[in-house]
Each structure stands twice: as structure tokens, then as C-alpha cells.
């Protein structure tokens, strides 16, 4: 039994790390994560999404294998960062930080939803207007969240 428990624990830790389900925030609550750090990370994700979009457009007409490889990688990067942004909104803010008793609950929820929709549109397109809309939505959510 002593051997089984560490093995099961190791498998659990590996599977959590492999699937990334523990990366957004622990739900203990541990109290070590900061709201501003989440906003900073989402704005960094926006920059990556914007750059990925411009790179996909630049590579789209090229037919060599290296360009096709880079194009695929930029698309995957764009998708990953948009998904990451959605995850921060859902996992961190909506699940844990936005409270129903808050007088600005509906405003915060509406602004958080706008971030998720803008991130979805970034996945669907390579139009940098959608990346700009994501940045605007993140900033509007930050303003509502901070109560400014």
C-alpha cells in the first residue's frame, strides 16, 4: 500500500500538469495570487495574439514548408493564448473573485463575458481588429473590476 499511494499521487500530479487543469489558480483558496497579475497576463496574451495574427497574414501566401510550419505554429499560439485568457476569466474571476453579493456584480459579469467573447473572436479570425477589441475588453473589465 505504501508503494501504491506515491504512485497514484505521482500519476495525479503528472496528469494535472499534462492537462494544465491546475495552472489557472488553486481553489483552496491559498491567497497568494493577485488580481493585477491576472490582468497583466491577459494583456500579455493579447500582445501575443495580435502578433500571431500579423504573422499568420504575412505567411499565408508563402508555399514553402518552413513558412507552412511557422504559420501552423502561429495559429496554434494564437489559439492557446485566447484559450488561456478565457480560462483566466472563467477559472479565476468568474469562479472565485466576482461575488454575487457585490453591488457591481452584473457590470463585472458583463465585462468579463465581453473578454471571453472577444477571445473567441480572436480564435475565429486573423483580423487584428478583434485583438484590439480583446485589449479594450480586458481594460474595460479591469476598470469595472477595480470599481473605477
CB atoms within 10 A of CB 29: 10
Structural domains in the chain, CATH included, are 33-146 (1.20.120)
Read off the pTM. 0.81
Q: What is the mean pLDDT of residues 104-126?
A: 98
Closest CA to 80 of 114, 52, 118: 52
CA angle 119, 122, 127 (to 5 degrees): 145
What percent of the chain has pLDDT above 70?
78
Closest CA to 72 of 60, 88, 85: 60
Q: What does DSSP assign to residue 148? A: -
12-38 confidence digits (pLDDT tens): 334 444 344 434 456 666 667 789 999
Amino acid at each position: 500500500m505504501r508503494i501504491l499511494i506515491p504512485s497514484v499521487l505521482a500519476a495525479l500530479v503528472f496528469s494535472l500538469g499534462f492537462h494544465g487543469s491546475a495552472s489557472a489558480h488553486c481553489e483552496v483558496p491559498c491567497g497568494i495570487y493577485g488580481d493585477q497579475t491576472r490582468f497583466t497576463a491577459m494583456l500579455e496574451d493579447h500582445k501575443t495574439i495580435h502578433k500571431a495574427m500579423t504573422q499568420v497574414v504575412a505567411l499565408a501566401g508563402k508555399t514553402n514548408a518552413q513558412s507552412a510550419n511557422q504559420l501552423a505554429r502561429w495559429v496554434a499560439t494564437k489559439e492557446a493564448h485566447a484559450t488561456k485568457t478565457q480560462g483566466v476569466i472563467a477559472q479565476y474571476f468568474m469562479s472565485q473573485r466576482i461575488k454575487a453579493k457585490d453591488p457591481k456584480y452584473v457590470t463585472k459579469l458583463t465585462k468579463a463575458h465581453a473578454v471571453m467573447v472577444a477571445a473567441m473572436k480572436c480564435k475565429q479570425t486573423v483580423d487584428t481588429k478583434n485583438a484590439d477589441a480583446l485589449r479594450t475588453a480586458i481594460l474595460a473589465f479591469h476598470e469595472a473590476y477595480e470599481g473605477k
